[in-house]
Amino acid sequence: MSKLDLTTALGRLLTNALLRSEFKRSPRDTAARLTLRDEDLESFLALDPADLEVQAKTLLHKRYGEVSRLIPLSLARLESAAWSLFEAYSLTGWPEGPQRHLQDAAGFAEYLNRLGHVVAKAEIHRLRFILRENRFSACWVRDLLIRGRHHPGVQVLYRSGGQVHALALYLRV
Amino acid sequence: MRRLVGLGYRGELAHWLDGRPPEVGCLEITAEHFMDRAQDQLRVLSRHYPLFVHGLGLSLGTRGPLEIDLLKRFARVVDAAAPLWISEHVAFTRTSEVDLGHLNPVRATRESLQILSDHAREVADLCGKPLILENITSHVALRGEMTEPDFLNRLCDQAECGLLLDVTNLLVNSRNHHFDPLAWLDQIEPGHIVQLHVVGYSRDQGRWHDLHAEAIQEELFDLTEEVLMRAPVQAIIIERDENFPPPEELAEELRRLEAAFVKA
C-alpha cells in the first residue's frame, strides 16, 4: 500500500475536525494511522494544532461565503446563529465535484429544515432546479425578491441557451 | 518599460469601470469567475484595458496530473481575454481525495519544485502565454528543505516563469510567523518579480488575515514602495473582493500606487 504524502494528509486534517482533534491529542498516533511517507513525517509532526485550526476555519469561511451567495435570505433569517449552525453542519462532510457549492447550499438548507429553521423557499426551489437540470419549474413561494422587497407569488424558472432564467408572478398590492 | 496599475475585475465594480475611470490602467480577470459565463464580456473588456488572467483552482502543487477539464476551461478564458500574461499560485487547492476550495501551502522541497514547475510549464504551454506564480498566505507553516524565498527563486528558474509578489500576503505571513518582510524581500531575485498584488489586511483574535476586504494600510504602501525600489515591476493590481468602498476611495489608492511607481 502506498504511503500518504504531506499534501494529502494536510487535506484530510483541514477538512476533518475529528482528525484535527486526534492530531492535537497525539500527532504521532495520527501519523501512524495515516501511514505517512517517511520523508514527510518530521514536517507532519511539526504542524501546530492551533495553526491548523485557523487555516481550517479560513477554508470553512470560504465555503460559507459560497453558500451565503446562494441562499442569502435563509442565512439572513438566522442572524448571528448562521455561522455556528454552518460550522455544525460542516461536520457532516465536505462537498465535492463541480456543483459542490450548490450541493453544499442545498445540504445546509436541508439541515436547517430538519432543525426547524425556516429557509427561503424561493432559494431552495432555484437550487433544486439548477441541480436537477430541469427545463421548467414553477413553485408558489412567499419570498420572491422584487425590487428589494419580498412578495408571495409564483416563481417560474426555465432554461434557455444554457442559462437559467426566472420569472415572478405576483400580485402588486 | 510600460508600467500598469489597475484592479481585480469584480461584478461590483462593473458600473464604475464602464465609465473608463482614468486611474484604472489595467484589469485582472479571475478565470473561475468567467468559466461558466458567456465570454463576450471578456472580449469587450480586452478592447478597453490590458488584461491579465488569474487562476485560483488549478492546484499546481498537487502531485499527479492537472485536472484537464479545468485546465481547458482556464485556457478558453485566456483565449477570450487575450491577456498580457496569466498567473496562478504556489499552492494546492485539492488533493487526490478532496477539493479544499482555497489555497494551501506546499512544502518547500525539491519534489514540490518539480511538481510545480512541471505543472507551470504545462499551463503556460497550453495557454500560449507567459505565466507568473504568486506567493500565498497561510496560517500553517510547513517545515521544508529550503527557505520560501529560495524556493520561489528556484521555482521561477526551473519553470521559466515570473513571480507575482503579493505584498499583503508577505506582510501577513511576516506578522503571523514572526519574520522580517524586508529580509525576506532581500533574498528574492528582483528580476523575477513581474507583478504585485496589494489590498488591506484584516486582524482578528491576534491573527492577521488576507480577506481582501480592507483599504490598503500605510505599512502596505511602504512595503510596496520597498519592492518597487528593488525590482522591475511591470504591474500592480488592487485585489478587493469584499466590503467595496466608494469608487473614489479605490481611485485614490490607484493614484497613490501610480505615484509610487513614478517615485521608484
| Cα radius of gyration (chain A) | 21
> What is the average per-residue pLDDT within B208-221?
96
Confidence at B240, pLDDT banded by 50, 70, 90:
very high
The shortest CB-CB distance from B99 to any of A12, A42, A96 is to A96
B148-151 contacts at long range (C-beta below 8 A, 24 or more positions apart): B148/B108, B148/B184, B149/B184, B149/B185, B149/B187, B149/B188, B150/B108, B150/B187, B151/B90, B151/B108, B151/B112, B151/B113
Distances (CA, A) of B175 to A100, B107, B180, B181, B203: 34, 20, 8, 9, 11
Measured in angstroms, the CA of A4 and the nearest CA of chain B are apart by 11
User: Total domain count for chain B?
Assistant: 1
Q: Give the per-residue pLDDT at A1.
A: 66
Residue in chain B closest to A66 (alpha carbons) equals: B101
Q: What does the alpha-carbon distance between residue B143 and residue A107 come to, in Å, rounded to a whole number?
A: 37
> Looking at the DSSP assignment, which residues form a beta bridge with residue B214?
B200
Query: With an 8 Å Cβ cutoff, are A58 and B107 in contact?
Result: no
B140 touches chain A (CB under 8 A): yes
What proportion of chain B, given as a percentage, has pLDDT over 70? 99
Query: With an 8 Å Cβ cutoff, are B140 and A47 in contact?
Result: yes
Q: How are beta strands B193-198 and B162-166 bridged, if at all?
A: parallel
Measured in angstroms, the CA of A139 and the nearest CA of chain B are apart by 26
Tally Cβ neighbours within 10 Å of residue A84.
10
Containing structural domain, residue B54: 4-263
Q: Give the per-residue pLDDT at A52.
A: 98
Q: Give the per-residue pLDDT at A57.
A: 95
Q: Is residue B257 predicted with pLDDT exceeding 80?
A: yes
Q: What is the model's pTM?
A: 0.92
List pLDDT tens digits, range A69-105: 999 999 999 999 999 999 999 999 899 888 899 999 9
Q: Which three cell numbers stand for residue A33?
A: 494511522
DSSP string, B191-241: GGEEEEEE-EEEEETTEEEEEEEEPPPHHHHHHHHHHHHHS---EEEE---
Q: Is residue B37 predicted with pLDDT exceeding 80?
A: no
Query: With an 8 Å Cβ cutoff, are A43 and B62 in contact?
Result: no
CATH of the domain at B157: 3.20.20.150
Nearest to A67 by CA among A95, A39, A97, A28: A95
Confidence at B260, pLDDT banded by 50, 70, 90:
very high
Confidence at A144, pLDDT banded by 50, 70, 90:
confident
Query: With an 8 Å Cβ cutoff, are A59 and B100 in contact?
Result: yes
CA dihedral B158, B162, B167, B172 (to 10 degrees): -20
Q: Give the per-residue pLDDT at B51.
A: 98
The residue to which cell 500598469 is assigned = B4
The shortest CB-CB distance from B99 to any of A40, A52, A100 is to A100
List pLDDT tens digits, range B5-26: 999 999 999 999 999 999 999 9
CB half-sphere exposure, A32, CA atoms < 13 A:
4
Residue A67 identity: V
Query: With an 8 Å Cβ cutoff, are B97 and A43 in contact?
Result: no
Measured in angstroms, the CA of B243 and the nearest CA of chain A are apart by 13
List pLDDT tens digits, range B65-100: 999 999 999 999 999 999 999 999 999 999 999 999
Query: With an 8 Å Cβ cutoff, are B63 and A7 in contact?
Result: yes
Residue B19 φ then ψ, to 5° = -80, 5
List pLDDT tens digits, range A18-74: 999 999 999 999 999 999 999 999 999 999 999 999 999 999 999 999 999 999 999
Q: Strand, helix or coil at A40?
A: helix
